[in-house]
Chain A
Amino acid sequence: MKIIPVLTILIILLAGVCRADIFVVTHQDNPIRSLTKEQVRELYLARSHAFPDGEDARVFDRTEGVLRTRFIESVLDMRVRQFDAYWARLIFAGRVLPLDIADREDELLIRLKEDIHSIAYTDRLFESETIKTLLVVRE
């Protein structure tokens, strides 16, 4: 009967291992090689509008879903409704333009390829000559 607790532990461990990382990505030609979690947070909270080299960043969010929730909670250290309310304040006060949204992975790829100063997040590790990873977040 010891098999049940052992299986439970294995399931928990596998769940942890199988959960995909979150990758913060940009165009391969962007001179920035990496970002810290804090720098990503500054960009996604519109406290900074540029990469560390001074180039304006074009920031992409995702539509509501599990990936967006994980990103907001683990990278931005906020609840989703906190983040939504925070952005609503900025938008309706006229301080910033709304974030660009990419619905699907293929659309995200197209948008990232269009502008070398784009930044987005995904749970897929892209094997692509045009996309590079700036930050890997392991939950």
Chain B
Amino acid sequence: MPPTVWGDSLLVLCLLIMALIAPAQALAEKGFQYSGFGTLGLSVEKEEDLAFLRDSNQSKDPEKDGSLHPDSILGMQFSSGFASDWRATAQFVYRDRPKQSLDQATELAFLGYRPMPDLDMRLGRMAVDMFQLSDYRRVDYVNLWVRPPTEVYAWILPSSIDGADIAYSFDHGPYFWRFKMQYGNTEPILEFPDGSDSVKTEFNDFLVATLTLDFDVWRARVSYSEATTAASTPGFVAGLAQVGAFVPGPVGDEATALYNRLLSASNREVRYMQASLGYDDGDWLIDTEFTRIATSEALVPTGVAGYVSVGRRFEKLTPYVVYSRIDSDQDLYVSTVDWSATGFAPLRDAAIATINGVQIEQYTHSLGVRWDVMPKVALKAQWDRTHIESDKFAVWAHQNGAASEDTTVDLFSVALNFIF
């Protein structure tokens, strides 16, 4: 996003906050409740033609080395209970994204119904509960780190889902269980790695099943999710079909193969599996999470990802270390055909960039400290050293061709988190 747009957006944001808070105080007296969260965060790295992203569905500018955009966020939530068993909740989030709109900013908007104390049903727009931190991954105050490990959370496109969910909770002695099923659809927008254009993606028939267990200072969770993905077809794909039809020999054959590969990526099933274990005794915080992503032919990152985090509270300071990584299980597509004489090589390159461009393979060592400055306010500083495998840069903004070698990136971040 250019600085002028960012400046305009800030003005709009300030006006929005004032417009929201003023009536909110009046509404609070009539049974409405409002809460909010936010982060002012700065992240800096010094790589050429490469820029840090917290989420792959943020706006992308490979030339940017230091920015407030990836981590800064403001969220407002309004809720109200009525008729004893019902509640309504709406959450609006301003953050960096390819396109700003009220629809995109509305992270939650649902009606909740609790017919009995242990059963909860919701209808509307809810957070997708795929992984351990999915449904509050942007509320940084609640997490130890500046941000959830990017190897597990940066590539998740859907954040909200339009549909319904049902959760059943029960305890058995000291064990508190919660089982939840979620179903719906979502259409997140994804920008190309160099920020030149964006595409609307679809996650249809999204089904999430989650089981969580709280026991004393332990928390465990397993989940399974599946969805059918689709995306609008890039314009160059039709060109590939023409090359396949009219250019004889290996070039035409490869053009047809690439065309078929891109077309076959639509309406394919993606599966996500997750297991996590957390420990928090008030002094030590240990978290670990492992995920597996699989698909037949959809163009999404696949492989195994996870992290281990250890922190220790000393009064208001909590230093921590994190190791996280993602290993792709896909091979890069490599062309063995010489297209130079045909003049259609840019079509082939665009197709390969699209196919390989979803791949991620990297690991990060992180060192940081959280300072609980005052109630509901935390200041964090974090250093991440990330090693990225060549051509598997999908969670970084980059120019085509700039990611062809292994790279190690040092990222320095500071963030002020608050809730109210």
Question: Which residues does A use to contact B, with CB under 8 Å?
Answer: 42, 47-50, 54, 56, 64, 77-82, 84-86, 88-89, 91-95, 97-98
Contacts and interface: CB of A to CB of B under 8 A. Distances in A.
Nearest to A85: B142
A95 B336 CA distance: 53
A84 B375 contact: yes
Contacts of A56: 84, 117
A47 B89 CA distance: 20
B295 to A, nearest CB: 27
Interface in B369-388: 372, 375-376, 378
A94 B126 contact: yes
Given A79-B282, A85-B141, A97 B117 contact: no
A47 B214 contact: yes
Contacts of B135: 93-94
A38 B108 CA distance: 32
Contact of B117 (A50, A80, A82, A92): A50
Contact of B75 (A64, A85, A92, A98): A92
B50 to A, nearest CB: 32
B359 interface: no
A84 B377 CA distance: 10
A97 B87 contact: yes
A16 B134 CA distance: 45
Given A49-B114, A98-B35, A92 B280 contact: no
B108 A48 contact: no
Given A47-B214, A56-B117, A94 B108 contact: yes
B119 to A, nearest CB: 10
Given A85-B142, A94-B108, 20 more contacts: A47-B169, A48-B117, A49-B118, A56-B117, A64-B375, A77-B282, A79-B282, A80-B375, A82-B280, A88-B136, A89-B136, A91-B79, A92-B77, A92-B91, A92-B142, A94-B89, A94-B110, A94-B112, A97-B80, A97-B89
Nearest to A54: B117
Nearest to B370: A81
A19 to B, nearest CB: 21
Contacts of A92: 35, 37, 75, 77, 91, 136, 139, 142
The bracket for how many chain B residues form the interface is: 35 or more
Contacts of A79: 282, 313
15 contacts: A47-B169, A47-B214, A48-B117, A77-B282, A78-B282, A80-B375, A84-B375, A84-B376, A88-B419, A93-B129, A94-B126, A94-B135, A95-B120, A97-B87, A98-B33
A84 B373 CA distance: 14
Nearest to B129: A93
Given A47-B214, A79-B313, A84-B375, A91 B77 contact: yes
Nearest to A99: B33
Nearest to B80: A97
A88 B117 contact: no
Contacts of B141: 85, 88
B89 to A, nearest CB: 5
A54 B136 CA distance: 30
Interface string B99-132: 0000000001010101001101010001101000
Nearest to B90: A94
A93 B127 contact: yes
A80 B378 CA distance: 13
B37 A97 contact: no
Contact of B419 (A48, A82, A84): A84
B416 to A, nearest CB: 15
A60 B120 CA distance: 21
B319 interface: no
A89 B139 contact: yes
A98 B114 CA distance: 15
Contacts of B214: 47
